[in-house]
Amino acid sequence: MILTFEHGAVRELRLNRPPVNALSPELIAALLQAVETAPHDGARALVLSGSPGMFSAGLDVPVLLKLDRLSMDAVWRDFYALMSALASSPIPLAAAITGHAPAGGTVLALFCDWRVAADGDAKIGLSEVQVGLPLPPLILSALRRLVGPRQAERLAVTGLLVSPAEAAKLGLVDEVVPAERVLERALNWCQDLLALPRAAMDLTRRQARADLVREFARDIAQELVEVSSWWWRQETQAALHGMVEQLAKKKKA
């Protein structure tokens, strides 16, 4: 589910769960382990990438709808652990957004240091409210950190999905390049960072990201309870099942 490529001191973690790199419980756990172990293996930076045209479609709703409450609670805990691992990584992370990145796909990118997206008609954004899920406070805080309060409100409340070009204007991504250059640009960004005096860069990076890390230092148990409870609301379940039915119809068409 994750292909690993070594580019000198930079390790690429490429999501490889066709057809859309949807985040199943297994992929979430595997990505968490890969992010946590990379620094211990000697990697000095990470690039998180996807397949051409598809970074990640977000949580694998068809799979998750089959889980019971205990299993779903475990998924939320692992997903929060993954966000924490990205936020607090001791080495820099670049997101190479190779295509569509709705909902959970954008969440992964939010917690990286830097984001480059493929130019084109891909959609990026946090569409959770469209399926009856309020955007969790921790994710909203990370979004606000990138785009500011007003644009975070606009994106989150409406569940708006935008083009890479619009995402760059808002600050949701840092650069947009032709699709064939996305990985190259992410690797170059990492290599440029690693060319700086190491101790000074590492300390300044930790200071700059301290606010993001602090979000996970607080007690998030209640937030997890609330996120889980929203998943099981009748309105949310109806919206999620409706989305799955629409996807099934598109596949048959």
In whole angstroms, what is the distance from residue 87 CA to residue 90 CA?
Answer: 9
Residue 84 CB neighbours (<10 A)? 21
Does 189 fall in a domain? yes
∠ Cα 85 100 8 (to 5°):
50
Query: CATH number of the domain that 68 lies in?
Result: 3.90.226.10
* CA–CA separation, 89 and 85 (whole Å): 6
- 244 inside domain: no
Residue 232 lies in a domain: no
pTM for the whole structure: 0.96
pLDDT band at 198 (very low <50, low <70, confident <90, very high): very high
Range of the domain at 152: 2-194
Q: How far apart are CA 221 and CA 77, in angstroms?
A: 9
Phi-psi region of 144 (alpha: psi -120 to 50; beta: other; left: phi over 0): alpha
Domain count, the chain: 1
Q: Does residue 82 belong to any structural domain of this protein?
A: yes
- φ, ψ of residue 10 in degrees (nearest 5): -105, 130
Q: pLDDT at position 65, please?
A: 96
In a domain, 148, yes or no: yes
| Tens-place pLDDT, residues 201-212 | 999 999 999 999
- The answer, yes or no, to whether residue 218 has pLDDT greater than 90, is no
Residue 149 lies in a domain: yes
Is residue 61 one of the residues assigned to a domain? yes
**Any domain includes 20:** yes
How many residues in the chain?
A: 253
Query: Is the confidence at residue 129, as pLDDT, over 90?
Result: yes
